[in-house]
Structure 1
């Protein structure tokens, strides 16, 4: 019985270790950077990836959050292989530039701002904006269809940010030509998807914690909006979407 259990544990360690190594390389980070993010030694990460040990259970949801996958996916429990880049129409890695890495050519134009550390501590891997005069403008935005789309962003509010009123429009396609398509923004102390007074706003259900990274996903499908923050569904509602493909898109 002990040999069977040991064999199963080794197999499980190998599966999760292979997935950690694969997902880490996809993100383009080193074992040291991942270790720093998790508060462990790089030797521990190396042992995971070599199948010599398994992460502590308390680290499993944090790992899934870092990689942007589910815990089931981290353990290799996927029924179908999913191409996460299929249908991708805009991707900014902010790796020292504002070029679209989706292959669709929707490159941005940076006005002000500078590059800082991302959530892994990589210098130049994130864009620092003031929420006002600093922004990225996409004059030729991607074409969003009116039946389904998703927006996925990482954002961070520094210690000096004033969380009052409407501010820090994270991603918006709103207003330059008076066509209000979408706006993922911040209202007071809550990350909010603006309904433009036509429909209710969709807001995070807890207050923003400064100096903390948030992974925010907005999905729209079958006339229903959903907001997922750090892997957890926090709000949803029915609604509609009217695309305005000639309206510039902004990141602030």
Structure 2
């Protein structure tokens, strides 16, 4: 089945702009996205508006694939869009603040799904599948041309076999995967070295916020556990 990528609006009903006391908007998005054969829900940006009572906001990038008939051929057409800013309670914000530019929910065409506890960099769920690419010279994964957008979302990061094995191990244990360590930092997530290259405005905004006395992201642990290696401003 031939596949194409199209950028534009996705017919996703984003009726929930979460506010204090509302439930996790990701769960509402997942319920709607489950009608697609494939989807990835990525934390596109994070924001805290400081004040006497801080306000917390999340924004998501949504990648979907749906079947269409093009030139008498069944084709999966990929589309992506960015949601509006969603105001969320602090507890919900804390659930996702470590995972900037990472997939926090996904489904592949074999029906397999992942959630925030298995958060991972975009595209890793397709590595090793010969329908999407192959292992090339030097032991790095190469996506086929029609999936070049997946490489673009990785900010030029090349996935090697050891890197992929690390992802599979974390996935099997039901844990997030932040990519290989680079200079003492994870590659991906809110303090990732790759993320800093792909989200420079976010990091600039955070430095300005910290200089004004704001709290850095990642200072609280995931699900009541220890502090994440994926935080920022620690």
TM-score (norm 1): 0.21
* Structure whose residues are more often helix by fraction: 2
Higher Rg of the two aligned structures: 1
